[in-house]
Chain A
């Protein structure tokens, strides 16, 4: 086995001496901002597998067709119709033609989109959880929809609430409750208290600001 030697020789000594701190400073697959022992949770960065796969596939397909046809022509066949049309269009259509302008605009927009994808973190649906100062506790994130479900159930447990609509965003949470009985303001206060308490049990690194609106069901 080729991987046996490095595997047996040094998993522990190396990671122990090289890092000294928590294992989150491992270069192999963890986000950047976790080297201090008293660590702060930061956003996770997506690996951007899907756009990369799509782009790789498009490049692969385009080059594959081109290579296939080039080799065909080299081996004595005639060029495919699509290639003749393409060469002809590229050679005769002026660049102020609407099609060319449209194509260029689409290409520029797509390019800008790819750059934005490459430079932004992504993972917008994951809320980082507060990391305790302990090397063994994993860095964790909580799914936004999951947080919304837990908060919805909490709001529904308050007497008088018949329907709750919770929108969880990165920095704020909007809760709308429909009240069927009891005093509107009392219920609103109780919902706010319940949600604040539940928000605490979520253990998020950055607790979003909570806005509760209540209205009586017509």
Chain B
């Protein structure tokens, strides 16, 4: 799991817990389960009686007279908006490494753009037997880029052979850039086609 996945999953868990907890709190109060099941909620527990309301007017206006209340509300909303916007934008783009070092040890002043390398990888992959179409992307930091292959196979391809052939592609990329490692992941699909019997 990468850090992006961890972040998304953590925030989803938090949101899920808030929704689940809030929903259960209202349900327990609204269906009067405390009384029916003989439960004693702790002192100060909200929404214990079915006649309570979610946000009584005196709760809503409790601090509205104070000087600090509205600036605080506005600041809190603005921060939430900024965080939500940042989180949303993070879903829409991948982190690309940009300019990559070349050579071992890296040569000063020489850089390789990720797009050039991924184009070369894709062209190299598309030439492999059994490959119908290949798309490649480099993601991650410039210090530790990794490649993702999205490969569409011909109807008569052997996925295991293509998988093993990808080794040579990664190896060539590694040799031509002088890197010791290029972690890669590949997703193999099969071009959709009508059923056919011919070998």
Chain A residues near B (Cβ < 8 Å): 1, 3-4, 6-16, 19, 22-24, 26-32, 44-53, 55-57, 59-60, 63-64, 66-67, 70-71, 74, 87, 90-97, 100-101, 103-119, 126, 129-130, 132, 134-143, 145-147, 149-150, 152-153, 156-157, 164, 200-203
Contacts and interface: CB of A to CB of B under 8 A. Distances in A.
Contact of B23 (A27, A111, A126, A140): A111
A54 B62 CA distance: 33
B139 to A, nearest CB: 6
Interface residues of B, number: 104
Given A8-B101, A146-B153, 16 more contacts: A10-B143, A14-B143, A57-B84, A67-B77, A94-B51, A96-B32, A101-B31, A108-B20, A118-B10, A137-B166, A138-B186, A140-B166, A140-B188, A145-B189, A145-B190, A153-B155
Contacts of A51: 8, 12
Nearest to B88: A56
A24 B23 contact: no
A6 B12 contact: no
A172 B1 CA distance: 26
B53 to A, nearest CB: 6
A53 B80 contact: no
20 contacts: A12-B178, A23-B182, A28-B139, A47-B2, A48-B8, A63-B81, A95-B52, A101-B26, A115-B13, A118-B9, A118-B16, A138-B163, A142-B188, A143-B189, A145-B189, A146-B153, A146-B159, A147-B159, A153-B195, A201-B159
A111 B52 contact: no
Contact of A30 (B55, B80, B183): B183
Contacts of A136: 167, 170-171, 174, 182, 184
A57 B89 CA distance: 10
B199 A59 contact: no
Contact of A126 (B26, B145, B187): B187
Contacts of B22: 104, 107-108, 111
Interface core residue of A8, A96, A105 (most chain B CB under 10 Å) = A8
B163 A115 contact: no
A26 B13 contact: no
Interface in B1-37: 1-5, 8-13, 15-27, 29-32
B43 interface: no
B121 to A, nearest CB: 11
Nearest to A47: B5
Interface of B: 1-5, 8-13, 15-27, 29-32, 47, 50-57, 60, 70, 73-74, 77-78, 80-81, 84-85, 87-88, 91-92, 98-101, 104-106, 108, 111, 139-147, 149, 153, 155-161, 163-164, 166-167, 170-171, 174, 178-190, 192-193, 195-197, 199
A39 B88 CA distance: 35
A18 to B, nearest CB: 9
Nearest to B89: A56
B185 A30 contact: yes
A134 B183 CA distance: 11
Given A56-B91, A143-B189, A156-B197, A119 B9 contact: yes
Contacts of B106: 7-9, 11-12
Contacts of A140: 149, 159, 163, 166, 185-188
